[in-house]
Structure 1
Amino acid sequence: MATHHQVLIIGGGTAGIMTAAQLLEQKKSNSVAIIEPASTHYYQPAWTLVGAGTYDYDKTGRPMADVMPNGVEWIMDKATGFDAENNTVKTEVSGDITYDYLVVAPGLAYDFSLVPGLGEAMDKGVVCSNYTDPLHTWNVVKNFKGGTALFTQPATPIKCGGAPQKIMYLAESHWAKSKTRSKSEVLFATAGTVIFGVKEIAKTLMEVVDRKDINLRFNHKLVEVDAENQIAWYELTKDVSAGGCVVMAEQEGNERIDKTFQHNYKDVKVTVKDGRYGIHYDMLHTAPPSVAPKFVQQSNLVNDAGWLDVDKHTMQHNKYANIFGLGDVAGVPTAKTGAAIRKQVPVVVDNLDLLIQHDKMGNKSYNGYSSCPLVTDFGKMVLAEFDYDKNFIPDPKLKNLFISDSSKEHWRLWMLKKYGLPYLYWNKMLKGKDV
């Protein structure tokens, strides 16, 4: 027999726990269940610091049982599919579970098949990722003896778009202290065309890049990793031929480099083959290619891009009025961060409350707010806060920390990242308190 809940939530990550906590804390529903198979809940934003040797990995995880809100029913199981017409979620072990309202927040999944060779190479040898194993990242950074340090990211949406460069800035600082830096070139290769999508932040980051003497390579789409030969293969997403030769490297007279591809050119070993551009690396850090979890992708709840099809302001599903989605799985055009979830949850909770009570939607609207704490050095950080239109919108509360311009590097922002935000996360956000 199927069990039934007024509000059923898929996912015990930041989005699922916060939504349940606010519904119960504010007494909006007395029948809330969460489907979540994991026994540990991780505060992933601190993994950037773990990968740089400045945060204890063990402190980033807590037992899932400890963060489940009082009054929630925890179904320790995997969701495997939907029958939205009949208000039903299928699970691996517990059978069918029915609901009046469904909140889909399982986060995202990694699909290594999108970059052949990366899955086999990941978290082994000199290939690392703060997303999957930050302790291995720290080992790679610590043991790097020089050569080409390549930091990159896939062309898919990823969690916290700034994370692939934060570890680069911290690693570069570490190497500068350990005399490795003088024997190294640091490269950042991205499919994007700018270092960051918010102008004010990009300006500061370009200053950081210049200070640290980092080579940026834009329009580089990561398509394969050859771990044996230590080559990352890219497709160049913009036509680069000029007069029949690829203008990617120093030519006679030096003036031939296309500046939209290269900033601060460094002569590292590359191989051009079959229209692909291979950068040889001595260490490689990347984010994994990311997609919606398979059971979501294979459902009728996704948009053309394969993410959950929700309204970007109400977070309500575009086809099923009693389904909401938020967090990393949501197909909305903003960065996938915990900060985005912090602003999405109250909108979802308000809408659920009014639907349950009065069968109508609330008028709260999510404006695309997201935030990326960009660590630029040990003891320095920039805080990128922005909306759907990439407007820079700093939180007025920063004034209380005596930070007048969060687009500039500040040690107080570093303190916020290392101490303030983890405290707020465990003690306020996950408890359903307004932050």
Structure 2
Amino acid sequence: MQQGLTLKLKIKPTLPEARQLHTMQTAYAHACNHVSRYYFDHQFGRSRRQLHDALYRELRAVFNLKSQMAESVLITVLARYKTVQTLMKRKPYRFKDTYTNQWHQVMKDLAWLRQPIRFKRLQVDLVWGRDWRFLKNGQISINTLDQPIKVDGSLNYFDRYMHQGWKLGTAKLLQVGHKWFLHVGATKELPDFDPYQVQHVVGLDRGLRFLATCYDESGKTRFFSGQAILTKRRRFKRLRQHLQAKGTKSAKRRLKRIGQRENRWMDNVNHCLTKALVDTYGAGTVFVLEDLRNVRFATEQTVKTHRYEAASWSFFDFEHKLAYKAVLSGGTAIKVSAEYTSQRCPKCGSIAKGNRDHSRHHYHCGACGYQSNDDRIGAMNIQQLGALWVSGGTRPRFEKLTAVE
């Protein structure tokens, strides 16, 4: 299987070089918005070849882009629309028929967009070997709208990837504050996961009180507390409320910085947590997670002051980071159905919604009397589904048996 990574390379341009890079970023963003408007106005019915025929010369002449950058603009716009279309399909529009009292859903597509996608963040896609490359003296050559520039970079981080069979690809040029980065795409061909070499099957229940509750085949449970995370996020929330109440221009600027800082911090928390999980269980581990794509978080059942925290933590980001880290360590991550994992007793298999006490975070089976922490119960059930997958089950899930009269 082919595994991809995004490597972050810090570069150090001089002030004149930074101005050149910024000018290129601005032209690239304007070009992307121009192509996006054209694609939207033509009802998303243009292929890359048709966009090239219609807009290539204009991109070169009006925005002063080099040949490869003009092509990259077309690729960037089409890729963004494809991503948006995928996200829209994951969340169909649901409505209730007032006459039949039945719920229906309609799949969304790009026709639901009311305006073209806008490219606000300044960035440039640079193709390896054409727009950027490493020089023999250790510097990095980067194409600009004028002449290529040669900048210094922190290459120590790259050594373990450049000499271990990783293939470098397109890089995104970004500016964060006064610092400049290349986010480099890298791929490597890795052997497929062998189910016959499984060492551990670990069920993972995700949440906010405990970011992760793990249960393995030996019956050992590990809890990763999220209380400190919740406390810090509530401080961010109170600060945002204070700045929003002010409403001044300086307050709005600070709001933007706070949002970016919180996102970076959340990203780092997920990185640290997933790395700890992979290091703890090692090679040959199957990490089993619930498939949360169509699961709705009922915020109306949450205390009003805590609803923001309940609905905005990035579980998908955690899932993505765990998946690629598990593959790199010789394991894998799979998703199983989330149905009844919090209601089922892992000892006797009975399913009853009333067995779980949300307020006390406690589970008590009414059939066999088994008791435990409700997050641990979820992890135990998820681990059992993972064990079924390892033994050959294609889509393991729990089903609630109806009483037979």
TM-score by length of 1: 0.22
TM-score by length of 2: 0.23
Relative contact order (alpha carbons < 8 A, sep ≥ 6): 1 or 2 greater? 1
Of structures 1 and 2, the larger Rg is shown by 2
Larger proportion of helix: 2
